[in-house]
A and B are shown apart, each in its own frame.
Chain A
Amino acid sequence: MITSARYKNNLLGEKSSIEAVINDKTWIVPLDEENADYQAILQWVAEGNTIAEAD
């Protein structure tokens, strides 16, 4: 279950991943549609949730 998600930037300042809390554990999730966690985040967004912008 996803409880939060926030974009992370790489050293060039580009969005490169999402820091997400999934089942009470923090994961860095790549922006790759072959990744099951990213697929789950996209579904989570489709349900009305929002990925926060990078700090």
Chain B
Amino acid sequence: MALSKIDVANMLTGLVPNDNTIRRPNAKPIIINGDMAIAQRGTSATGKTSSGYYTCDRIQFVANDAGTHTVIQETSTSGNAYINGFAEAYRIDCTTADASVAADSALFIKYKVEGRDAQVFKKGTSNAEKFTLAFWVKSNKTGTGQVNLRDEVNTRQCSATYTISSANTWEHKICNFAADTTGALPSTNAEGFGIEWYLAAGSNYTSGTAPTAWEAISNADSAASLNLAISGSTDNDFSLTGVQLEVGEYSSTTLPPFQFESFEDSLNRCLRYFYHRGGISRLGFASATANTSTACLGVHFFPVIMRATPSQAQSASTGFYITGGTQNQTAQSALFGTEGISKYGVTLNATGSSLNVGYGYWLNAVDSTAYMQWSAEL
């Protein structure tokens, strides 16, 4: 077994190496982009009323008829999170309030752990591990928040609560979750389990009791201890960063330090799930060959192998040139690849006119507003 750290100081003194380090089975943090530094989709998304991935990579905004919100990659230059290394955060601002959330409505933030990355918890085995979730939080609201681990594969969940004590102040929270010897997680590229920070919820989610032990999923328990109601007023906001998930049980005095990754490493891990290419005038997307006088095909390889075959989006179809020889024409239709997209790459299919069959062309961006995106999120 490879060692991730050699505790030279304790070897010399004969002390037992720090348990905080030897319990970490991963060289990299389980949570990808826990410091919210990567935001390929942009730094602000307004008017959000439905679920989706906005701003910070890997972080899902989940909303169902619970007000309207702006999702922001918040940047800080002061505060307790900042002085602990977190210059960015995932922030939700309520812009249209829903003071009386319908019974079946909810608002929460979700992070989905891929099944392969979840194996370290040995869930569903006799050696199942406890979970410790740590994070920095800030809100104008004080009160009790509820965060859940949710295993959709085996329809099980477990909860923890935390208290926001001071308004508009970064606070560090540590939540412990029980081990679960029931319900193994498949070691696949599908969702293993999710982490859900409830922010507002109707009575269908609040009428039960927050489970501190793993139980069969009961929606009534999902926000039973929540009293933040972030969607209840346009004064409300909620910020989250420094998300850290550890194997085992830790307290504020034993929690291992947050594993900061380089921006490059973090971005490369995010690219498994989402890839944005754009923002540069004349940026190339593929070298292509005209197979007819009106169409040319070119392969674009993704920078990393994606989790699964991705969905693809792009800016307006008029945002792309087909360039070759003395020709430089605007692509007449989208570059959307329908010819063999996979987790490895895509064949882009551009439509033009008077193309020279067999000649090479260059598919490129008209200006810095042109982009293409591929999503293989969980």
Contacts and interface: CB of A to CB of B under 8 A. Distances in A.
Interface string B300-343: 00000001111111000000000000000000000011111100
Q: Which secondary structure characterizes the binding site on chain A?
A: strand
Interface in A1-45: 1, 8-11, 16-17, 19, 22-23, 25-30, 32, 34-38
Contacts of B310: 30, 35
Contacts of A37: 311, 375
A32 B359 CA distance: 33
A11 B91 CA distance: 44
A45 B340 CA distance: 24
B190 interface: yes
Contacts of B378: 36
- Contact residue range for chain A? 20 to 34
Contacts of B307: 34
A34 B189 contact: yes
Given A34-B190, A35-B376, A36-B378, A16 B338 contact: yes
Given A17-B338, A28-B336, A35 B311 contact: yes
A36 B309 contact: no
Contacts of B338: 8-11, 16-17, 28
A23 B311 contact: no
A1 B52 CA distance: 8
B52 A23 contact: yes
Contact of A35 (B50, B51, B308, B337): B308
B50 A28 contact: no
Given A17-B341, A28-B336, A23 B309 contact: no
Interface string B182-197: 0000000110000000
Interface of B: 50-52, 189-190, 307-313, 336-341, 349, 375-378
Interface of A: 1, 8-11, 16-17, 19, 22-23, 25-30, 32, 34-38
Given A28-B311, A30-B309, A37-B375, 12 more contacts: A1-B50, A1-B51, A8-B338, A10-B338, A10-B339, A23-B52, A28-B313, A28-B338, A35-B309, A35-B310, A35-B311, A37-B311
Among all A-B residue pairs, the 4 with the closest Cβ atoms: A34-B308, A1-B50, A32-B309, A30-B309
21 contacts: A8-B336, A10-B338, A10-B340, A11-B338, A11-B339, A16-B338, A17-B341, A26-B313, A27-B311, A29-B311, A30-B311, A32-B308, A32-B309, A34-B189, A34-B307, A35-B310, A35-B311, A35-B376, A36-B377, A36-B378, A38-B311
